[in-house]
Structure 1
Amino acid sequence: MKTTNLLCVIDDDDIYKYAVKRAVKVNKLTNKIITFSNGEEALEFFIENLNKNENIPDVIFLDINMPIMDGFEFMEEYIKLKPSVGKKITIYMVSSSIDEADVKRAKNISAISDYLLKPIMPKELANLINGTK
């Protein structure tokens, strides 16, 4: 099974982050996983590591509703940085929201690969990380 070098989860729900980490570890889906509790923490990390591709994730699972900087605010700032990022990053917006406005807004951001509803089952997680969705 193919593994992703670096996976990033940006979400304020510690239980969800633990579940993703556990599923990733059990299924050996990545070499490393990094987590952030809000978009601002993640954005600061990206800015500090723009010239270090080995520290930039291959796949990001991004929550919408978080304190300080939500997922949509993160994406607004990420899009400004994207030309400076030296690799392709697959971003999935992951939320428990079924609000059609959230779904439509996420689908209108070209840098977001898909909008997914929580919880993500381990098999779906594997397919997403391996790019076989």
Structure 2
Amino acid sequence: MNTEASLARGQILARGTSRCLLDLGFACVAEMPLRPRLRADLMALGRKGEVWIIECKSSRADFMSDRKWEGYLDWCDRYFWAVDRDFPMDLLPEGTGLFIADGYGAELLREAPHRALAPARRKSLMLDFARVAAQRLQSRLDPGMPRAGLI
């Protein structure tokens, strides 16, 4: 089965962006839960503890139907969009970062402004990030394992 065909366009953007972020020294968790009904497409954690959130938008309709993006700003140091080359970039708000992505990689086109997280929130996010990543790894190693609350 063609892996590319089985992935949704947003997942394809997330995969390429994750590859780029790895090259930039970040580890990523896709579909990272932040609070009930708020889940980041990608959360990236840098070597110095910096937290980035990247929302992947596959089309104008996808962008217009999801207006909760400002709710993510309190959960990261920098906020980015990941879109493909055909996306109408004039829709994207000023003061946010931008990656152009496909299924194989991404390019950072616009750096996002830095908004430092509060230390307590950073610690909480880093612990959640580690727990979600560890639980997902364990579920791959043991597919019969009961699902925990975070993943």
Give me the TM-score of the superposition, normalised by structure 1.
Answer: 0.43
Structure possessing the higher relative contact order (Cα contacts under 8 Å, 6 or more residues apart): 1
